[in-house]
A and B are shown apart, each in its own frame.
Chain A
Amino acid sequence: MLPMVPVLLLAAGCHDRHTPTASTKRLDFNQDVQPILASHCFACHGPDPEMRKAGLRLDLAEWAMKKRPGHPDAIVPGHPEQSELIKRIESRDPHYLMPRNAQGEAKPMKPEEIAVLKEWIREGAVYRPHWAFEKPVRPALPSVAANNSWIKTPIDAFILARMQKEGLHPSPEADKETLIRRVTLDLTGLLPTPAEVKAFKNDQSPQAYEHLVDNLLARPSFGEQRARYWLDYARYADTYGLHFDNSRDIWPYRDYLIRSFNNNKPFDQFAMEQIAGDMMPAKNLDPLIGSGYVRLGVSSNEGGTIPEELRVNIARERTEAFGATFMGLTVGCAVCHDHKYDPTTQKDFYSLSAFFNNIDERPFNGDRPVWTPVVRIPKAQNQEAYDVVFAKRSEIAAQLRTMRAQERGLVQQWLTSGQDRPQPVAADKLVLRLRLDEGGGELLNNTAPHATPASFPIGKSKPAWGETTWLWPDFRMDTGTRILLGQMGDYDWNQSFSSGGWMMLRSAPNYTVENTSGALISKMDTTQHNRGWDLSIEKGIVSVELVNEAPKEDDLKKAAVKKGKQKDETFHYPTPTDLTAKDLAPNKPPEKKQPAKKDAKKADKPKPKAPEAARDTTPRVAIVVSTVDALPLDGAWRHVFFTYDGSGKASGVKIYIDGAPVATHVVSDTLGHATIRTQAPMQLGWRWPDAAPARDTRYQDLRLYGRSLTADEAKRLPFEDYVAEVTATPTSEWSDDQWHAVSQFYLNSVNRMYRADQDQIAELNVRLDQLSEGGDLTLVAWEKPSLAYADVLTRGVYTARTERVEANTPHFLPPLPAGAPHDRLALARWVVSPDNPLTARVTVNRMWYELFGTGIVETTEDFGIMGDRPSHPELLDWLAVEFRESGWNIKHMYKLMVMSAAYRQSARSTPDQLAKDPKNLLLSHGPRFRMDAEMLRDIALQAGGLLVDKIGGPSVKPYQPPNVWEQVSYPTSDTVNYVQQHGDALYRRSMYTYWKRMAIMPDMDAFDAPMRDVVCTRRQRTDTPLQALVTMNDEQWVEAARALAQRVIIDGGRQPEQRIDLMSEILLSHDPRPQMAEVLEGSLAQMEKHYEADPKAARALVSVGEKKRDASIPAPELAAWTMVASEMLNLDETVTK
């Protein structure tokens, strides 16, 4: 036990807002009570049912007051003494006392907290909904009697009222020099020039400050400064972040941000474009480029990656980032279980993640700088023409989208009309139909009419179920899964038969075209010279074989494979741009020392050194027919089917892909009348007994017919047959998947307008590709036409799927409009809908944080139960409503804030202010804090006259100490070597510096720049010795000091005082105070003495950096001034805003 000692005063600042200040005022549930309940009680008596103890839930009134059999009433409104809750928290009995920590140890509340809870119950224990989940309404301005001459904007009325309540007083306005420096830094990230300072000081008009603000808001650097913050909120980086951590091309997204802020794009438009720009009508590429936001997170291509796991992780990361930036909620806490404090359930989390789970992409990236979906940006000279075509394409896409939104109605009309009814394929001689929709269990059902046998045992090694959905949740062969189908398919050369179904070949980082080769459906005995038949794939070439006997190693077929044309990897659905082979090529590591000797993939997976087997000289008596074109290994479902007419001739074999006959080679036609019958069982994925596995293939609706289907039947088999089956039942019984299948069929195959529109889009795509030739690529989002869904995962484990959920917004927030499709576009609209209580608040709060250093809600990322309460709740709501009603006008909001008297105050603090409000949350003086990493480097470059003011473009590589990338990277990563650039690249604004996630620029790192692995909505602000080392010793800072010295020597005049004045005007916007000038002059004298005595050292110092110095200045003089400039650059006042 601790000795009785006074309460630690220093800690009081964090908690003063939770303590009621005056006894006369009734308690505010949200401000005063809920934080106490949340931090002490909700872990066991909150929203998470798994953790709930004694059936008591204290976050909702109806639960807290509910009678619990065998338990005394927790809360008796009006009667704290009868309330079990109070008895428990006041108890002296350690076995009875509450609350307890996770280890079950008693953790008593503080006396003042107990007092609040007692008072609250005495007042009637009134619950209120959590403040942030209620729609903000514009509050009346507080009436502030005294001192209202101080008030300049409505903001000030709220600030002043609160200060008065706490006995604080506002500070006087800062002097003009301080003001122009502060506002210029905040709005542009750069210093005002001495000339600007002078002009502002001389402008005596009452509008001088407002004119200055308007001028700053109109500068291009405004957009850069805002975009710089947004890059953290969006987790922008130039590499994909894991394993190889290769480069990734998405810098056009950064340019999009700058453009958007400079054009003052309304925030609702801005937010929607980033969430769903690919689905919005558009006149140019901007919205689509903006949708790159969704894909900014980390990605991987590690060799052993399990795609299902990575896909879940990527959707999770996107959801967490979205939650922090747009909702201000820590939704990620609900990955494993219902949120312990917020009402976010696990189901809410996965429903939200589903919006980001339906993008036409593979989860791994092939170690490439771009991976689809991407868009190619036309070069400037083609942009106008491109935009015309793009707008047209967008209009048609919108029509398609409208039709899809109405698809269920259209399907109803179609079915009622009786026209174009889907025709089933006759079930005549259908002997095997494996739907493979069992979802688990020990048996696979044969759903062919009168099937014998009616089912097949799965065997010991189970398949994976339900990882993706096609016609229905799917089935995937796992390593070792054997599906033995007995003597099904026991046909001879003179019998006709057909077989095939929907299949998806494995697509994963280490699944190359080579190792996905194998038997898809087979009844073939490799111990009997391959007698039997099978449908197989090798390097993408599909083959049908009917074999009497054949050599083990099939050289003939290999020859056919070589002839097969390997298609470029494209996607099944139209994407904005298909990639060329050049785009698909991985970046090469930059050529520098130690070129990698061995290929990384080889290192990951050594080639087995199989001993050369004796050559099999069995003659070939077989039909072998192979497709001419290879199927791409792109993770898409394809319907693969063949028919054989019993003629004993290769011409009797036809192969269909997605219902269409495809061109084939005859590889062998020597079967004649030889038998193909074998005792080996028919199986999926293997040849008997254990050869040629087509690993991890997914299957659906597999068929075997004892006849040769006609071309027309083969065409109807993939979709129409199934749709005919579904439409034979009443629509009221259809599942969402069935609706989806029928709608897709109707739109793609029946609705002529839809098809015509699609054809037109295909034509326009060709035109767009031509017009964008040679342009830069950037990653974008691109929605699949499938249903957006996700699986709820027990404890977040990717294999532990429990319930499939459709995309949806959290249940405790306003719902999506009835009847609208649940997709990203709906989410985007929802985010900025007038009913959304969070978006406007969260966004204005971050603006406030950028300017004032701390948000009105300090936890910018968490507006939930455990987040901080707003220091000025009414002000926050007022700003949120103002933002929305201004048409989401971003510049308007920044202007409003910087025009406030609160913002314009002097930063000088008194001991009284520090004692009452150490964090200055109540703003009794102006904001003052150390600048962010990028701003610091930028102003150093600017002060030295080095800064290059080019906007946008690819990232650049300025100075970096050696061996920063090299010592952490994978040897064949394209970011293993840092190759510094020269010239202008050294002096661009820091937001353009190349951002490698695994090793960010060490100077940025030292000043708390985040790695951008995950979303960051507020940076830490630390003081460490490493920061001092950067600003004293980093080459670019030394060079900047030298450039600044040179500048004041040339421009400042002959006298040291004049030069020091100019240096101070450049960096601090004011003349040096006399004491400061004295110190600097004294230091200058010392440095001059030192460097005159040691000219060699002087020359060494002034040679740092690549910018040529002015040789007319003697080295000792420049060196001495360089040290003075370095002193100035390292001042607290310089690095502080």
Chain B
Amino acid sequence: MKQHPLCTDCEQAPNVMELPIPAGLKREWAAIETRRRFLGRSGKVLGWAALASLLGERGASGDAQSPSPPSRPLSPQALRLPMFAPKAKRAIYLFMSGGPPQMDLLDYKPNLAALYNQDIPDSVRGTQQLTGMTAGQTHFPIAPSHWSFKRYGKSGTWVSDLLPYTGQMADDLTIIKTTNTDAINHEPAIMLMNTGNMNAGKPCLGSWLSYGLGSMNDNLPTFMVLQTKVNDKENNQPVSSRLWSSGYLSSEYAGVGLRSGGDPVLYLSDPDGVDREVRRKMLDAVEAINRQTLAELGDPETNARIAQYEMAYRMQASVPELVDLSKEPQSTWDLYGPDAKEPGTFAYNCLLARRMAERGVRFTQVYKRGWDVHGNVTGVLPILCQETDRASYALVTDLKRRGLLDDTLVIWAGEFGRTVYSQGGLTHDNYGRDHHPRCFTTWMAGGGVRPGITYGETDEYSYNVVKDPVPVRDFNATILHCLGIDHNKLTYNFQGLDQKLTGTTPASVVQGLLA
């Protein structure tokens, strides 16, 4: 039967085995298909997304073992993923877990000083639900920021004195003052930010990207997660592996943790007494026998297993190379500062994130905990900024110097903001801030976003959005857009619904943020 002229369904697409593409790609496709077989209703997008990534990144150069170059290569566009020319190929997400206080960092509110200790007007607070931690307060006294702000760069961006390095890169940043969320407590909010849903069980942004765009390298995971060491002086809200979980997507799209203690990747190191040579011989024997099994039983799954053991072997070599910083030039240390030499610091993780970007890791997420400043803001916030300010600047600057910033999207965000009124006692020297969902400040830099702008406006209390709100779903839609993905089209059929990162409430790409 003839295909409908308006049909854009990719199921009506070519048989891969008959396409004039390198034999190696066909083999990989066959392996992917095998896996697909076990994913139940995984459907078409997975296969095509994965194939697109193979073709998109390596199709052009062909396969070294291929006897003849492809005569009619398919463009990634024809395969629909990325769905349009992406500005960014990869992303690095600096996640500030706990909720940074926006009015102390980037949302400058000079008029608050005059309102010190006055109750926030009811008209401003409106019907906003309070958390159980301040619902018991009688008063909601305004706590102006303890710090001064200065203008930086050509953009004249106001930046707190806590962030001198961030100020220096103000012209590279796309600052969003009007990010807002529906959740007021950490658990639901951090889940919403990462997975688009407050309840557990949904895939995170990184998993969606891996699923949609696939890998850019043969030796490293597509999506990696870095944890920053806990600082006991801070209030460290927990994170959990559900934040980098693939939810109902295949678990191969889950984030792989790169750790600062022990094996960088779990179980990566050969056991004591097993060297590379022994491992190679062991794997050769395993493969030889597995090939016999394949011949005997004909199960394509066996083939996939052989390939995965080889990938594991390659990872065993490439991950140590990734974390070996001995060849970094002095300029690196000058840029990132001495902290970067200590594994597990935020600076170290930022440096690793740059190295991963260079090596084709699609998505890297760096978690920094401790921003939950319910009290002692003047005591704790300088520590947090000292840990993160220079490193964030170094990462963006480093990427820029290496020409990577153009196709790398860097994102800096927490799960919500904080209240302008003080939680607990307010003095001239100190205050606390409770969770605040209605507005918080985030920034992006690099591939796809417009540098040197500040987007959106909040009221003079940094309590409500007065112009250009960016709800979490729009924030995520915009990230996907920068990576060449229409958030409405990156879907996965689960429980009878075409599920997507941005959920069921209509979301839109924030055009004002785009380059």
Contacts and interface: CB of A to CB of B under 8 A. Distances in A.
A and B together in one complex: yes
Contact of A970 (B1, B236, B434): B236
Interface in B427-457: 427, 430, 432, 434-435
B201 interface: yes
Contacts of B372: 603
A950 interface: no
A305 B286 contact: no
A919 B37 CA distance: 6
Nearest to B498: A102
A1038 B270 CA distance: 10
B12 A2 contact: yes
| From A603, A696, A859, A909, residue with most partner B Cβ within 10 Å | A603
B1 A115 contact: yes
A106 B6 CA distance: 8
A1024 B133 contact: no
B187 A302 contact: yes
A835 B18 CA distance: 52
Contacts of B282: 1032, 1083, 1123, 1126-1127, 1130
| From A9, A110, A1098, residue with most partner B Cβ within 10 Å | A110
Contacts of B308: 1023-1025, 1027-1028
Given A243-B187, A968-B241, A1080-B285, A333 B296 contact: no
A1018 B40 contact: yes
A198 interface: no
Interface string A919-949: 1000000001110000000000000000000
Nearest to A690: B138
B113 interface: no
A998 B292 contact: no
B206 to A, nearest CB: 15
Please list the 10 inter-chain residue pairs (A to B) with the smallest Cβ-Cβ separation, ordered nearest first: A866-B496, A606-B375, A304-B131, A1101-B273, A608-B425, A998-B240, A1100-B273, A111-B1, A1028-B312, A1100-B272
B13 interface: yes
Given A304-B184, A606-B424, A963 B262 contact: yes
Secondary structure call for the B interface: loop
Contacts of B434: 304
Contacts of A1119: 273
A334 B38 CA distance: 28
Interface stretch (A218-226, A380-388, A1007-1015): A1007-1015
Contact of B232 (A108, A597, A1086): A597
A5 B15 contact: yes
19 contacts: A2-B14, A4-B3, A303-B133, A317-B199, A330-B495, A332-B495, A516-B136, A607-B424, A858-B41, A862-B496, A865-B496, A967-B227, A970-B237, A1008-B251, A1013-B242, A1027-B308, A1032-B270, A1102-B273, A1130-B282
Interface stretch (A504-512, A649-657, A731-739, A781-789): A504-512
Contacts of B239: 968
A1131 interface: yes
Contact of A696 (B135, B236, B252): B135
B67 interface: no
Interface stretch (B171-179, B298-306, B331-339, B406-414): B298-306
Interface string B214-240: 000000000000010110100111111
A963 to B, nearest CB: 4
B15 A9 contact: yes
Contact of B241 (A909, A1011, A1099): A1011
B44 interface: yes
B259 interface: yes
A1084 to B, nearest CB: 9
Interface residues of A, number: 168
Interface in A596-655: 596-597, 603-610
Interface string A1099-1137: 111111000000000000001000100110011110110
Counting chain B residues whose Cβ lies within 8 A of the other chain, the interface size class is 35 or more
A908 B496 contact: no
Contact of A910 (B137, B252, B256, B298): B298
B168 interface: no
A1033 B11 CA distance: 41
A316 B197 CA distance: 14
B386 interface: no
Given A606-B374, A909-B297, A7 B12 contact: yes
A345 B199 CA distance: 21
A103 interface: yes
B78 A2 contact: yes
Interface string A1062-1100: 000000000001011001101100110011000011111
Interface in B235-264: 235-242, 245, 250-252, 256, 259-263
A605 B265 contact: no
A1005 interface: yes
Contacts of B133: 303-304, 510, 604-605
A77 interface: no
B114 interface: no
A1035 interface: yes
B330 interface: no
B66 interface: no
A285 interface: no
Contact of B297 (A307, A907, A919, A961): A907
A1002 to B, nearest CB: 5
B296 A908 contact: yes
A14 B240 contact: no
A594 B297 CA distance: 54
Nearest to A1072: B289
Contacts of A10: 15-17, 33, 47
B200 interface: yes
Contacts of A8: 11-16
Interface in A1-26: 1-11, 13-14
B309 interface: yes
B8 to A, nearest CB: 7
